[in-house]
């Protein structure tokens, strides 16, 4: 089976080792065949047990949000990546940050660095949207949830001055906060305790 024939059989650009083994049913030495495909650069390992085709064989450009969801989950992209995605911070982020139900992990591959923080709050399912179209859809925190996740995990935020933290530390244009969804903030309120309480009160008053 040529790589072109294999490409025609596999419907998605990102696929698991289990899927790949299924399409290599005619081969007795499947591991050897996979190793050969990797060596020739016809498929690329994203992480152990997860692959994609070489760029010339992909049907669409790889979306790092989709990659982040697939590499480790259940998870959703959040914090700096989500804030940049919404245009709330001026910089593009070199690392794709996510929140996950499992333990904290970091994965590095040729597509970037993917960092996952363990969800320390019961708010995991609050403020998460499915965005994109077709096979490019991925789970991402809403603006409100991204701010919550960032402040929860950021040691720079001591709770004393939310406005300075947002404007100076995160470099957020404060005028952009006027568009926050108050319903999502209300849903997050029971989880915004301790030092996050002042952040909630500040955002809710805008």
111-141 tens-digit pLDDT:
999 999 999 889 999 999 999 999 999 999 9
- Cβ(91)–Cβ(84) below 8 Å: yes
Q: For residue 202, what pLDDT is reported?
A: 97
> Please, which pLDDT band fits residue 176 given cuts at 50, 70 and 90?
confident
Q: For residue 25, what pLDDT is reported?
A: 82
CA distance 37 to 119: 37
Tally Cβ neighbours within 10 Å of residue 121: 17
What's the count of helices (H) and strands (E) in the chain, helices before strands? 9, 9
SS3 category, 81: helix
Q: For residue 27, what pLDDT is reported?
A: 82
pTM of the entire structure?
Answer: 0.92
Helix axes 196-205 and 143-153, enclosed angle (nearest 10): 150
63-67, 89-93, 118-122, 189-193, range with the lowest pLDDT: 89-93
Question: If we measure between CA atoms, which residue out of 52, 72, 154 comes closest to residue 113?
Answer: 72
For the stretch 11-31, pLDDT in tens is: 999 999 999 999 998 788 999
Q: Which CATH class is domain 3-57?
A: mainly alpha
Q: Where are the domains of the chain?
A: 3-57, 64-205
């Amino acid at each position: 089976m040529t790589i072109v024939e294999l490409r025609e059989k596999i419907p998605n650009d990102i696929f698991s080792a289990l899927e790949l083994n299924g399409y290599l049913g005619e081969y007795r030495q499947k591991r050897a065949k996979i190793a050969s495909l990797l060596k020739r650069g016809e498929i690329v390992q994203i992480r152990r047990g997860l692959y994609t085709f070489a760029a010339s064989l992909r049907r669409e450009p790889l979306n790092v949000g989709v990659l982040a969801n697939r590499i480790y989950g259940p998870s959703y992209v959040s914090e700096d990546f989500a804030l940049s995605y919404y245009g709330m911070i001026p910089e593009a982020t070199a690392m794709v940050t996510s929140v996950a139900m499992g333990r904290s992990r970091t994965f590095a591959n040729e597509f970037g660095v993917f960092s996952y923080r363990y969800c320390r709050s019961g708010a995991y399912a609050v403020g998460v949207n499915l965005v994109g179209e077709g096979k490019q859809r991925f789970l991402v925190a809403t603006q409100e949830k991204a701010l919550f996740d960032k402040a929860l995990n950021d040691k720079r935020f001591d709770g004393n001055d939310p406005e300075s933290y947002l404007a100076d530390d995160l470099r957020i244009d404060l005028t952009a906060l006027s568009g926050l969804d108050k319903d999502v903030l209300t849903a997050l309120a029971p989880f915004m305790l301790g030092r996050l309480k002042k952040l909630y009160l500040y955002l809710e008053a805008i």
